Structure 1
Amino acid sequence: MGTGRGDGPVLGISAYYHDSAAALVAEGVPLAAAQEERFTRRRHDPGFPAHAVLSCLRQTGLRLDELAAVAFYEDPALKFRRVLATWLATAPHGYPVFRRAFPQWAGRKRRALDDVRARLRALAPGQRLPPLVAHRHHASHAASAFYPSPYPSAAVLCVDGVGEWTTTSLWHGRDTDLVPLAELRFPHSLGMLYSAFTYFCGFKVDSGEYKLMGLAPYGTPRYAPLIRQRLIDVKPDGSFRLDLRYFTFQYGRTMVGRAFEELFDGPRRTPEGPLTEREFDLAASVQQVTEEVLLRLARTALRRTGERRLCLAGGVALNCVANGRLLADGGCEQIWV
């Protein structure tokens, strides 16, 4: 995939899931970036980042019709197919959620690019709109890590909840090229595993994971063997599969169900309820397992690319404790997150 170097300025947009944002890049150099919540004061604002786009244009003195392209961070049509395939594969368990959510997915979410075009026209009436291009979610992650890094070449590891289908991907970055090497696909996701424990410990998914990481040092990883035995089968190269009998995120509005509760000593903690030793130990346990998986993945990425430098991206790359383990024990000389 290209970087936009030599092609004129490119506006990047992330929207309609969480933490919407915009960025402007020209000749491979980031010129401006902004997150929508900073303007709306709505935490994790998922809406179209109109304020962020205007801020980037103002900071650079550019007009919308002077841009070479607008890049969207994922492929909405492919994501819709994944959502639909998941609902069909898990029927009839997910029917109540399907009935409520399908109209939205069949409408605005599926046609996100049309909505982006309409919003951009409203921001710059009368101006020519540049071409709008959708990139794969993990390709966007990989680009966000490698291209701003100071490395001419590096192994790139992206780990998150899920993009369209991909949950984990390995890449080799060299100069302006990013070559995909391997991927794991939904529903087998390290990000979803960590978020399941985030939910079970009473925190909000997609925002409270840092709290779980912060709890981990206060606990003992006594549940780690159980997680390895029942929830996740990890291979020496870091590839893994989840035992989906313990999760409900594929078809429900929750992350886990009764089988998960029976495995970990009772129902989930009530949000804002008192924290107990169980939550400390659950956090310590899933943190330990997450670090183990990431170490194996990182070593595989370095071995397959022959690199000594590692770039990280995706929600799981926000786990700074795990990143410290990678730098100390992962076999890499340098890390760029």
Structure 2
Amino acid sequence: MRILGISAYYHDAAACLLIDGKIECAAQEERFTRIKHDASFPMNAIQFCLGYSNTKPSEVDYVVFYDKPFLKFERLLETYLAFAPRGFRSFSKALPEWIKDKLFQKSQLLHDLNEHIDENVNWKPRLTFSEHHLSHAASAFFPSPFDSAAILTMDGVGEWTTTSVGLGEGNRLTIEQEIQFPHSIGLLYSAFTYYLGFRVNSGEYKVMGLAPYGTPKYAGLIKNNLIDIKTDGSFALNLHYFNYCTGLTMTSEAFHDLFGGKPRTPETTLEERHLDIAASIQAVTEEIVLGLGRAISLQTGARNLCLAGGVALNCVANGKLARAGIFDRLWIQPAAGDAGGAVGAALALNYQLLGRSRVVSSSDEMKGAFLGPEYVQSDIEQRLLACGARFNVFEESQLLTKTAEALANGRAVGWMNGRMEFGPRALGARSILADPRSPTAQRELNLKIKFRESFRPFAPSVREEDVKEWFDLSETSPYMLLVGEVAEHQRIPGNDSFDKVSGLDKQAVQRSTIPAVTHVDGTARIQTVSRDLNPRFHGLLSRFKEMTGCPVLVNTSFNVRGEPIINTPEDAFKCFLGTGLDVLVVGNCFLEKSEQTVVSPGPHHELYALD
């Protein structure tokens, strides 16, 4: 049985292939087209899935789309009627697109499958549709290591649902409760993303990273005016302060008056007020997530909780939920946003519709999120030679030693190894690595390699067996979706200079023995690395520990601001040439920047629009 799951036409288009209920491969379209958050029909991702699994298009039994477009059109129409005539402007602009691209999306899907995959296959009887939050819930529960669990999904909006609570047991799940549009924790957070001058559906993680620089002095204002949080964990927004139902922006003039001014113009200076607003919406979001968690625990008695939806990428809230002890265990879908809907749609069809049996894994079924393309050594060498690259080829032990030495000497390394990750996080397959002990690495990586805002934190990757020595984390975090505190004995005591600075100046104060991955509040977004899931990356961490005593590395995605994470050896080489990276490792190929004769056509980041 071969089931192809697809998400597309909104943002983060992706494809996933199940073979006999197992996730064989999955990838986002952006990694092939090099257009960040690409929403187009994922023809490249589908072709990868079919090619990697040696599946002919005619062998695909079902194609399942991750939501129901007609229900989305119904929401648009009913919202207009509810807010008429105030919503006419946005309605009149949206309606032609919805009629053309969304209302008749089944026809569009069939057209795209015929045009881009195989016109000789009769796709119509094979095409079916899931529902948005069912897809999210299925992506959270069915790959999890739990036979039974509660399920919480949170995002902006699907068809109507913005938050759902479900129960999963064996090969079945049911949605028990829903909060519906326009009341949405995801849209609330996105409204503040917009107000702070960042891009909606892209810059929410910037708000999360900015929050620790401020104080949540506006949290009361938010709760007293913008949102009513109920004791059972549910909530309702005061739509007077928002414009997404009736206008073309996220926030209204009343919102701007409440917070003291117009939305920040992108790329302008971040003021103290902006930092405090970011801290405030993050604090309110954490309160909502914890309230939902407590209510779900009381209502269901479940000891395990699965999470998905874009809000489940808020790893700070996840970390606080984990530490609260409300549940024994959490499991979060690593591709929690819309890309993961392709996985969930396929799994929902496999179990919910077809009723196939489910075998629960002791870890999970996402294979470490290493579900994308990989390149054999001979192919890597041919591709790099075609680019004009100069490199040495080493066997693995020597390669790990050379790479660890470079890192210990303060050099920044581009690292491409094995199958590409699925989801927004680089987990040691398409990563930029550095020494976490360096007090200057965080700023240098941001400004000279990633070309992004200086306040953005970097994550640590640590050997799974060493995590408790370095971080206050009682569980594994293979997908970099939990924030925990740096261990107390790794902190620098008596550093009172931190209390004398404010705002973004806080980043200059060294807080721990691994300052490059310690955020200004003493926390880190942790990835635990196991020998089983990623043996080569684990081996590099082990070699670095042998040399330095530190089993931790800075791990950030292999890209620049506005660029999707690299996919191919060619992508890696282009990024290497056009940035401040010192060393590139692709497979067993080791490249020194100083030895390259090919000159970059220009700064790599200038090829991409700012995110």
TM-score range, shorter chain: over 0.9
d(CA) in 2 for partners of 1:251, 1:67: 42
d(CA) in 2 for partners of 1:27, 1:284: 46
Shift of 1:128: 3.2
Determine helix, strand or coil for the equivalent of 1:43: coil
Q: Residue in 2 aligned with 1:156?
A: 151
Structure 2 counterpart of 1:87, from 77, 80, 83? 80
Shift of 1:126: 1.2
d(CA) in 2 for partners of 1:205, 1:194: 9
Q: Residue in 2 aligned with 1:97?
A: 90
Query: Within the alignment, does 1:326 sit opposite 2:347 as a pair?
Result: no
Trace 1:188-199 onto structure 2 (pairs within 5 A).
Answer: 188-199=183-194
d(CA) in 1 for partners of 2:8, 2:233: 31
CA 1:235/1:319 → structure 2, altered by over 3 Å: closer, same or farther? same
Q: Residue in 2 aligned with 1:59?
A: 52
Trace 1:148-187 onto structure 2 (pairs within 5 A).
Answer: 148-187=143-182
d(CA) in 2 for partners of 1:251, 1:40: 33
On the 8 A contact 2:89/2:246 being kept in 1, the answer is no
Out of 12-21 and 130-139, give the one that drifted further. 130-139
d(CA) in 2 for partners of 1:71, 1:304: 32
Amino acid at match of 1:113: K
Determine helix, strand or coil for the equivalent of 2:128: strand
Determine helix, strand or coil for the equivalent of 2:294: helix
Q: Residue in 2 aligned with 1:305?
A: 300
Structure 2 counterpart of 1:260, from 242, 255, 260? 255
d(CA) in 2 for partners of 1:206, 1:225: 25
Shift of 1:330: 5.0
Amino acid at match of 2:208: M
Amino acid at match of 1:167: T
Out of 209-218 and 91-100, give the one that drifted further. 91-100
d(CA) in 2 for partners of 1:72, 1:303: 34
Shift of 1:127: 2.2
Q: Residue in 2 aligned with 1:41?
A: 34
On the 8 A contact 1:298/1:330 being kept in 2, the answer is no
Shift of 1:100: 1.9
d(CA) in 1 for partners of 2:143, 2:132: 17
Q: Residue in 2 aligned with 1:5?
A: none
Q: Residue in 1 aligned with 2:118?
A: 124
Query: Within the alignment, does 1:316 sit opposite 2:311 as a pair?
Result: yes
Structure 2 counterpart of 1:144, from 139, 152, 162? 139
Shift of 1:68: 1.9
On the 8 A contact 2:155/2:186 being kept in 1, the answer is yes
Determine helix, strand or coil for the equivalent of 2:36: coil
Query: Within the alignment, does 1:113 sit opposite 2:106 as a pair?
Result: yes
d(CA) in 2 for partners of 1:214, 1:106: 38
Task: Report how many aligned residue pairs link the two structures.
Answer: 330
d(CA) in 2 for partners of 1:273, 1:336: 38
Structure 1 counterpart of 2:69, from 72, 76, 94? 76
Amino acid at match of 2:102: K
Query: Within the alignment, does 1:227 sit opposite 2:222 as a pair?
Result: yes
Amino acid at match of 1:174: E
Determine helix, strand or coil for the equivalent of 1:117: helix
Structure 1 runs (4+) deviating above 6 angstroms are: none
CA 1:28/1:302 → structure 2, altered by over 3 Å: closer, same or farther? farther
Question: For structure 1, which runs of at least 5 residues remain unmatched after alignment?
Answer: 1-7
Out of 88-97 and 210-219, give the one that drifted further. 88-97
Amino acid at match of 2:323: A
On the 8 A contact 2:76/2:91 being kept in 1, the answer is no
Out of 89-98 and 14-23, give the one that drifted further. 89-98
On the 8 A contact 2:86/2:246 being kept in 1, the answer is yes
d(CA) in 2 for partners of 1:101, 1:232: 27
Q: TM-score, normalised by structure 2?
A: 0.53
Trace 1:206-221 onto structure 2 (pairs within 5 A).
Answer: 206-221=201-216
Query: Within the alignment, does 1:20 sit opposite 2:13 as a pair?
Result: yes
Determine helix, strand or coil for the equivalent of 1:25: strand
Amino acid at match of 1:268: P
Q: Deviations over 1:189-240 (max 9, x none)?
A: 0001000000000000000000000000000000000001000001111101
Query: Within the alignment, does 1:205 sit opposite 2:200 as a pair?
Result: yes
On the 8 A contact 1:184/1:239 being kept in 2, the answer is yes
d(CA) in 1 for partners of 2:273, 2:301: 42
Q: Residue in 2 aligned with 1:242?
A: 237
Shift of 1:178: 0.6
Using the aligned pairs only, state the percent identity.
53
CA 1:9/1:305 → structure 2, altered by over 3 Å: closer, same or farther? farther
Shift of 1:180: 1.0
Q: Residue in 1 aligned with 2:356?
A: none
RMSD: 1.0
Determine helix, strand or coil for the equivalent of 2:209: helix
d(CA) in 2 for partners of 1:249, 1:78: 18
d(CA) in 1 for partners of 2:140, 2:106: 24
Q: Residue in 2 aligned with 1:3?
A: none
d(CA) in 2 for partners of 1:89, 1:331: 39
d(CA) in 2 for partners of 1:26, 1:239: 38
d(CA) in 2 for partners of 1:253, 1:47: 22
d(CA) in 1 for partners of 2:300, 2:46: 36
d(CA) in 1 for partners of 2:44, 2:106: 18
Q: Residue in 1 aligned with 2:341?
A: none
Amino acid at match of 1:126: N
Out of 60-69 and 217-226, give the one that drifted further. 60-69
Larger Rg: 2
